[in-house]
Amino acid sequence: MKKIGVALLGLGTVGGGTYEILTKNREYFRKTLGLDVEVKAVLEKNLERAKSLGVDEKIVFTDISAVTANPEIEIVAEFFGGIEPARTFLIEALKAGKSIVTANKELFSKHWFELEAAAKETGAGLYFEASCVGGVPIIRTIEEGMQANHIEEIKGIINGTTNYILTAMSDEGSEYGEALKRAQELGYAEFDPTADVEGFDATYKISILSTLAYHKRVPIEKVSREGISKVDAADIKIGKELGYTMKLLAVSKNRNGKIEARVAPVFVPSTHPLASVKGSFNAVYLHGDSVDDIMLYGRGAGALPTGSAIVSDILYCAKQASHKRYPFAENVECVDKDFVSDYVAKFYIRLSAEDVEGVLAKITSVLKNKNINIEAVLQKKPVSKDNAQIVFVTDNVKETSIKKAIEEIKNLGAVKQVEALYRIEE
């Protein structure tokens, strides 16, 4: 039976969940996989936390050298989060010939090339299933389930916090602030929710997934990012009337080697499978040139779902005679011509205007002059003489064209304000 020594760096929520799975299922792994996986070291300053999980204090350390110098440790799993000291510790582990497993999407998206370079020196492995979409096996699906395909498109609801908030706004009519407060009370959102609600978390993940899918480095700097903090419940309600559901969507597309990547609140048709993903659940929709469309759905966060992905990587790593290399991740240089920034999409526009004759004709004239076709118009009952709400849905158009039209519309005397502009992703 193959014996595998593992070190855990940190015993927070996910680290604790991982320790629980490894110890609870140790005998099961022996019987089903022929692997005896033993936690040989834990890096944790809070000894009481370790004791509460049943960890023998003899294997609890605070110095990374206790891990790197131990020849019985083959795999190091990291749970610190953030950049430092995780980056330094993992590079030290790789240089000592130990494979690493991580859920740290910020670190991996920003420093994948450094980790790959260190791993290649010693032949160690990089495993990062848990960095994207928690317990949903999206990494393994891309790497091993879709090799026959050129992956052309990724669309994902890959942040549970924002999906919970938008679901509450859609299903219950909650305003953004109210839904966020409830998400914080339930533990879905942090005290400082910026990383989630402003789209940073989803940006890290779509960078990793796109790099992996397209075999070309897609750095976070090339991912257009918008959050949900300015989303108005009124637009969600109107969108439903038009047959759309709002989601914070991470989207990347590879068209003939040209890549576009973005994170933003968008409308999707209410008949689309992603529209039915509610609460804190995640889903990723993939399009391959051979398989067509597939969707993976499940828990995107939490101690045990994410711990499940970590343990899966540990077991998978333990079975490998040699480890996969990622030469495309080492390409630090990014060629601007390989990326598209002027996205083509349908757009939802809501504006407020004076309730006077001819205003609608003036607005449609601006759109027509910019060669923007109108797919639908919805004029709501005026709130007052100075506040008539008008909604347009356009046909596919370049983003630069719609923004130029918006600037002209703002200067029309009868238009008070452009209240909202969202893409529609079909």
Q: For residue 110, indicate whether it is catalytic.
A: no
Taking only the tens place, the pLDDT of each residue in 165-192 is 999 999 999 999 999 999 999 888 889 9
Please tell me whether the peptide bond between 327 and the residue prior to it is cis, using omega within 30 degrees of 0.
no
Does pLDDT of 229 surpass 70? yes
The predicted structure's pLDDT at residue 5: 98
Burial class from Cβ neighbours inside 10 Å (0-12, 13-18, 19+) for residue 198 reads: middle
Q: Does the pTM exceed 0.75?
A: yes
Burial class from Cβ neighbours inside 10 Å (0-12, 13-18, 19+) for residue 103 reads: buried
Indicate which residue of 105, 155, 205, 216 is catalytic. Answer: 205
Distance CA(259)–CA(417), nearest Å, equals: 33
CB atoms within 10 A of CB 299: 18
Taking only the tens place, the pLDDT of each residue in 47-60 is 999 999 999 999 99
**Domains along the chain with CATH numbers:** 2-133+322-329 (3.40.50.720), 138-299 (3.30.360.10), 344-424 (3.30.70.260)
Residue 145's contacts (CB-CB under 8 Å, 6 or more residues apart) are none
Distance CA(364)–CA(349), nearest Å, equals: 12
Distance CA(327)–CA(193), nearest Å, equals: 34
The predicted structure's pLDDT at residue 358: 84
Distance CA(42)–CA(23), nearest Å, equals: 13
Residue from 376, 214, 310 nearest 11 by CA: 310
